[in-house]
Structure 1
Amino acid sequence: MTDTTQAQMPRLNEQAPAFNAPTTHGQKTLEDYRGKWLVLFSHPADFTPVCTTEFIAFAKKQDDFAAMNTELLGLSIDSHYSHIAWMLNIKEKFGVEIKFPIIADLNMKVAQSYGMIQPGASDTAAVRATFIIDPEGVLRAMVYYPMNAGRSVDEIHRLLVALQTADENSCAMPENWKPGQPVIVPTPKTPEEAEARASEGYETVDWYFSTRML
């Protein structure tokens, strides 16, 4: 069998692959999310313990994502009915209601287009992939986790806040940046700009490294 997964991998800062897929909230397309940020995330299978912990974490954080004009959309290669049964089970056993839609990707069309199928892990299940898509449908971030280690929903939320803040303020974000911390000023593009940097009122360590508060 020829492996075409790598050829189908999406790329950052390009249009995210379009989809039209059945979900627990009816048919959904990428265009439905135009004007909003979207966190699209895949999981290997319903009724599995690691995936259950992730879905509970996403559900508990859903209001925080919504406050950032962001929708959540799950996906696995399970049936529509399996998704519904799992959602009801999580509500019954864990007391958490899953309010965001889940794509039933039985034909693996969406998973293949987003590179969620990693043959080194499984040919028939999606790995723990997360995609942040902006309101224009552009793919802004991708994060992949292995089958046996759950992702950090707090980190995905932090990354989303960082992306939105960087867009709004034309800056870059340092390691593990959180709101209220300094941001990085864009690096000078010419020798003249570099020489002037120290007098521009930023916290400047050297011409290429300056920070400021928002």
Structure 2
Amino acid sequence: MNDLLNDNPVTSMPRIGDIAPDFEAVTTKGNIKLSDFAKDKWIVMFSHPADFTPVCTTEMSGFAQRKDEFDALNTELLGLSIDSIHAHLGWVQNVRVNTGVYFDFPIIADLDMKVSKLYGMLQPNESETAAVRAVFFIDPNKKIRLIMYYPLNVGRNMDEILRSLEALQTSDKHKVAMPLDWKKGDKVIVGPPKTLDQLNERLADDTLEKVDWYLAKKSI
């Protein structure tokens, strides 16, 4: 009922576990199609409200300055805002001239808002013409694994983005879970036992750090 009373259109929002909606788009690196990205790559796709704006400049610079870390995690970067390709190119060059930072990753020119609407980046109570600061973590199977949303006036935390990406990859590789504030090198959580035999094995396992039978950690 509330949706019917709201003049703003309801925006679809992909969920964790969904296959990332495919799209074709014009970017600063040429035309791209999401499904054409390498099959073994992760993708971190992120939107910003507008080119030539202060918070966005700091964020995009952060992605650019730490691109080597994303490369090391086998991850492609993909930016987006509702600006023209000419605005994107001008902004990239402006930042490079003024700061020496080069945005060497594709930035989608989403003037028709096609991708923004497809991914729920337009949130009417925040803005109907600017994408919020969304981050989508997409695995090699093109499944959405994690989503972050920030408002227009709060910049993201690059350490947390990289930490989350590494946590997802580590969890997949070792079939474990990550505790609060986990970072590379910390112990991970082993899944709880599901049978009495597994419970007894757990209790007898001296290699684990056991808080209790259902909460155990190990080094990897």
TM exceeds 0.5? yes
Corresponding residue number in structure 1 for 2:110 = 105
Q: If the length of structure 1 is used for normalisation, what is the TM-score?
A: 0.96
Instruction: Indicate if the aligned counterparts of 2:8 and 2:124 stay in contact, CA closer than 8 A.
Output: no
1:153 deviates by 1.3
Mapped to 2, the partners of 1:204 and 1:154 lie a distance apart of 29
* Change in CA separation of 1:43 and 1:112 when aligned onto 2, cut-off 3 Å: same
1:20 aligns with 2:17: no
Read off the aligned partner of 1:42 and give its amino acid letter.
Answer: S
1:81 deviates by 0.3
Mapped to 1, the partners of 2:36 and 2:164 lie a distance apart of 23
Instruction: Indicate if the aligned counterparts of 1:195 and 1:207 stay in contact, CA closer than 8 A.
Output: no
Corresponding residue number in structure 2 for 1:70 = 75
Q: If the length of structure 2 is used for normalisation, what is the TM-score?
A: 0.93
* Change in CA separation of 1:55 and 1:2 when aligned onto 2, cut-off 3 Å: closer
Cα deviation, 1:107-138, whole Å, max 9, x if unaligned, reads: 11101111101111001110000000001100
Read off the aligned partner of 1:66 and give its amino acid letter.
Answer: D
Mapped to 2, the partners of 1:194 and 1:115 lie a distance apart of 43
Mapped to 2, the partners of 1:11 and 1:190 lie a distance apart of 32
Q: Which moved more, 1:150-159 or 1:199-208?
A: 199-208
1:183 deviates by 0.3
Aligned mate of 1:199, from 198, 204, 210: 204
Stretches of structure 1 that go unaligned for 5 or more consecutive residues are none
Three-state SS of the structure 1 residue aligned to 2:64 is: helix
Cα deviation, 1:18-63, whole Å, max 9, x if unaligned, reads: 1111001111111122320000000000000000000110000101
The number of aligned residues is 212
1:101-140 counterparts in 2 under 5 A? Answer: 101-140=106-145
Read off the aligned partner of 2:107 and give its amino acid letter.
Answer: I
Read off the aligned partner of 1:11 and give its amino acid letter.
Answer: R
Identical columns (%): 53
Mapped to 1, the partners of 2:171 and 2:212 lie a distance apart of 21
Cα deviation, 1:159-185, whole Å, max 9, x if unaligned, reads: 101100010000001111111110000
Corresponding residue number in structure 2 for 1:144 = 149
Three-state SS of the structure 1 residue aligned to 2:66 is: helix
Mapped to 2, the partners of 1:42 and 1:65 lie a distance apart of 17
Please provide the CA RMSD for this pair: 1.1
Corresponding residue number in structure 2 for 1:167 = 172
Corresponding residue number in structure 2 for 1:4 = 10
1:2 deviates by 5.2
Mapped to 1, the partners of 2:147 and 2:79 lie a distance apart of 14
Aligned mate of 2:88, from 83, 89, 95: 83
Instruction: Indicate if the aligned counterparts of 1:44 and 1:128 stay in contact, CA closer than 8 A.
Output: yes
1:142 deviates by 0.3
Where does structure 1 differ by over 3 angstroms across 4 or more consecutive aligned residues?
none
Stretches of structure 2 that go unaligned for 5 or more consecutive residues are 1-6
